[in-house]
Amino acid sequence: MNYYSTNGKAPVADLQKAVVKGLAEDRGLYMPERINALSKAFFNDIQGMSFQDIAYNVASAFFGEDIDLDALQDLVYDTLQFDCPVVKVKDGIYALELFHGPTLAFKDVGARFMARLLQYFIRRGGGHQQVNVLVATSGDTGSAVANGFLGVDGIHVYVLYPKGKVSPIQECQFTTLGRNITAIEVDGVFDDCQRLVKSAFMDEELNRHMKLTSANSINVARFLPQAFYYFNAYARLKATLGTQADVVMCVPSGNFGNICAALFGHEMGLPVKRFIAANNANDIVYKYLQTGSYEPKPSVQTLANAMDVGDPSNFARIINLYSRNGELSPAATHERITQLISGATYTDDQIRETMRQCYKETGYILDPHGACGYQALADQLKPGEVGVFCETAHPAKFKEKVDEILGIDVAIPDRLAAFMKGKKQSVPLSKSFDDFKAYLMER
């Protein structure tokens, strides 16, 4: 299958090129040129299938032409070694818990899938040259990518993070691993880390010296596998409620990669009636849905910081999908989108209030991201509809905030505690590109 660029000015790429390059030459995002629908038989039987089998079917529709099917099955099974339960919070509202992976983040699935896919391509090509993944992080992405790539031979990962700006739990998740993971502590802010990574990709001498690639959420191998979650959620819901339910899926969104994967699932035939994109105070897409005009602006810091995005990169994919690659006018595209997707936006005060209210009423502990999703369903669900929201992070990952807001002591899962026992190792660097380049030239 070929992948085209949302900017329409780059040549199409095959899967390998799209994954290794990440971004097209014209700075656009890669889109699969077809989205294959899944069969009636698949949807008839889905409630009896395991998460892994469901995911393998979905993965085959996307990647089956380009990867040997046995290898693909192995890759999917290796990626999904944990459960993704749908938990009833109260009548009509269910939490889809996406935080049971290795770093308790939903990004684990995309990160591991991408690592194994890159490894597959390296091996298939005879792979003698090491591939180096550069990733800038303010927390969650770094830990998911580092753990996803840990021990994958032929690939070395450099995680750049801002000194003193990452929570202690998150820092442990990528500085204690060792092996093929190097953490670089930059004396600067997140934007400096991102600038260093971008400059590295543009530096010719460095690119002659080593093979560089990125692992951020614009990569097709990172965002598409997130569609697995939504098919699995539908299956678990169908097993409990039967086939007739009008399902509404609500996704707390930042860069819009996760909801974009859900929408691709919908194009493949997933029987979901409509979607809600829940935002924190960074409400650019909410405003687009209200008005039809998209006006990016600098992000503001909130309690749900993994959703602090002022210009969500995957939004270009959503526009491309519903405009049929630019065939429809902006007005017609907006009309199609708003028929399927509504928005919501919540301030930090509202997030706190939701967390308290939900805990008091149901006993369920929401994290600040999931709280936006839960509240959007509580506000927008119509009679007869069943709502599922993604709980995107384990509340223990935001322990200080959650404890303070709810007046409780959230238990830290063993897996998270294990990271905190490890020895922190990182390379301190200034924010100057010359220093970063000199460091990489010695590798």
Closer to ligand PLP by Cβ: residue 253 or 323:
253
CA distances from 389 to 4, 233, 246, 249, 333 (A): 31, 10, 14, 6, 25
Closer to ligand PLP by Cβ: residue 19 or 372:
372
CB of 240 to ligand PLP, least distance (A): 25
| Crossing angle for the helix pair 107-124 and 140-149, to the nearest 10 degrees | 40
The CA distance from 19 to 24, in Å, is 10
CB of 144 to ligand PLP, least distance (A): 8
Q: What is the DSSP letter of 67?
A: S
Closer to ligand PLP by Cβ: residue 376 or 393:
393
CB of 124 to ligand PLP, least distance (A): 29
Name the site residues for ligand PLP (rule: CB under 6 A). 105, 107, 140, 217, 252-258, 306-307, 369, 392-393
The CA distance from 440 to 443, in Å, is 5
The CA distance from 431 to 193, in Å, is 7
Q: Report the relative pairing of strands 131-136 and 211-214 from DSSP bridges.
A: parallel
Strand boundaries in 300-362, DSSP class E: 341-345
Closer to ligand PLP by Cβ: residue 150 or 393:
393
The CA distance from 154 to 304, in Å, is 35
Closer to ligand PLP by Cβ: residue 141 or 180:
141
Closer to ligand PLP by Cβ: residue 53 or 108:
108
CA dihedral of residues 152, 156, 162, 166 (deg, nearest 10): 10
CB of 257 to ligand PLP, least distance (A): 4
Catalytic residue flag (residue 297): no
CB of 305 to ligand PLP, least distance (A): 9
* Dihedral sign (CA 200, 201, 207, 209): positive
Catalytic residue among 17, 107, 211, 273: 107
Residue of 377, 332, 331, 322 whose CA lies nearest to 354: 377
The set of catalytic residues is 107
